[in-house]
Chains A and B, each alone.
Chain A
């Protein structure tokens, strides 16, 4: 039997998780479904865009099935949606109840501070993971049905990368909320970090001088290794997970030490 607080957190997050899952699912299905119609247009688009722009957007080629998936589902909007979902759900674990006053009754549960924080985060992370693996579930069906020529192992590698990218930012968002108790701070931290690290990875494609920037970016560890063409890269994926876990641990420890609801 799951702890009551985990179930309560799921009940409170239910609408949001369903909404994000449907949104990310629709996005994935629509883009992937357009693959066959898009072939001609992709060629035009690829020819119309300068190479620099393509590099910046992380689009290697839009003609191959792998390139198409990377350009549509995995390059910008997919990660962006998953990140927004991670930020809002992680902000609900501590920061939001602390701001709207519901925290006192939650914290009055017979749980240590540490157990409270962990249960809240585990519940939220489960919801975020569900949203983040929605593309994987859909692509597992759509790729064979549409007949896209991408190895399923490569699709899995990219999709797991997306989920781990979500974990990475969930951990950071949780840490920000656990320390400050302010939802605005959580969203600002994720917004700024998300954009900055996305830019870092994008700019690193443009010139050799800026190439080192990619090492600063979780987006590089997620998609810069080109998993749709090259498959699994355990190192970068583990690093994403490690960032998520390290920030989570830091958040739990710091939350245990501070005053709540002042």
Chain B
């Protein structure tokens, strides 16, 4: 079943459009995910990632446009298609009061039978106790149950909506390893995220949505060098902005008394050397979120009010 795929396009969206009344979900989205690749689906919250995924799974019906999954129609072929799709919802809620074991048995049976060892080995990998009721689990453990049910039947296509949310860093690494293994087995992975770094380390390509529209599709290598970060330095005494404005890679310099805030693209060295002339009390450096920098790279002309208008 898994290797019987003839098409080399696992997910195809053509002019896919969804309006909720007059509110825009996504508009005219055209996208191809190739069989066997890991594609990251990036965008700020409210950009239309979940809407797209729900259209692909036939929970929502498009206003216009069409989708093909593994060469099949999401609505007409749903019964066959969903045996070959593993889906992790973004807002995970489980039906019923069962233990993880009972619930996963149900998912396995419903998909035509899954060897139980596939379930236990995934549970072991994620350090998940299957004997506990899912309702009583922490968010992180529920996320693990969600991942197990998505991966357990070794589907040809994995559609994962914000897969690492709620997982601790160790488990995030384990999850990323699972995604790499899936790719090695020839499975296709389409995963949404609003964190660039997480997608960067596993994806072959990323599709970027913003305000319901596809902004760009890029190979991950071409994103790799953009190590943009936001830096804040607290000095012992007030400093002058001019000391920092001319430094290579340093932009958006803001000085308020003894505090410097700026954005650094590339090497930190010039900024550190300049700062070392003063007494440094504290230095904070953070990778900025996607919305702030990464997307502004693609949309330098547009304001941020757009993202707010996209809603939740």
Enumerate chain A interface residues (CB-CB to B < 8 A).
4-5, 7-8, 11-12, 97, 100-113, 115, 257-262
Contacts and interface: CB of A to CB of B under 8 A. Distances in A.
B60 to A, nearest CB: 5
A115 B113 CA distance: 19
Contacts of A100: 93
Contact of A111 (B61, B78, B109): B78
Interface string B42-60: 0000000000001001111
A93 to B, nearest CB: 11
A101 B54 CA distance: 13
Interface string B86-100: 010101111111100
Most buried by B among A102, A113, A259: A259
Interface string B143-174: 00010010000000000000000000000000
Contact of A8 (B89, B96, B111, B146): B96
27 contacts: A8-B95, A8-B96, A11-B96, A12-B95, A12-B96, A12-B98, A101-B89, A102-B93, A102-B94, A102-B95, A102-B96, A104-B59, A104-B87, A105-B93, A105-B95, A105-B149, A107-B59, A108-B85, A110-B78, A110-B80, A110-B82, A110-B83, A110-B110, A113-B58, A259-B61, A260-B59, A262-B60
Nearest to A256: B75
B102 to A, nearest CB: 7
B20 A262 contact: yes
Contacts of A115: 79
B155 to A, nearest CB: 10
B106 interface: yes
Contacts of B59: 104, 107, 259-261
B148 to A, nearest CB: 12
Contact of B110 (A4, A11, A104): A4
A101 B58 CA distance: 16
Contacts of B85: 108
B136 to A, nearest CB: 15
Contact of B87 (A103, A108, A113, A259): A108
A203 to B, nearest CB: 41
Contacts of A107: 57, 59
B224 interface: no
Contacts of B82: 108-111
Nearest to B25: A262
Contacts of A104: 59, 87, 89, 91, 93
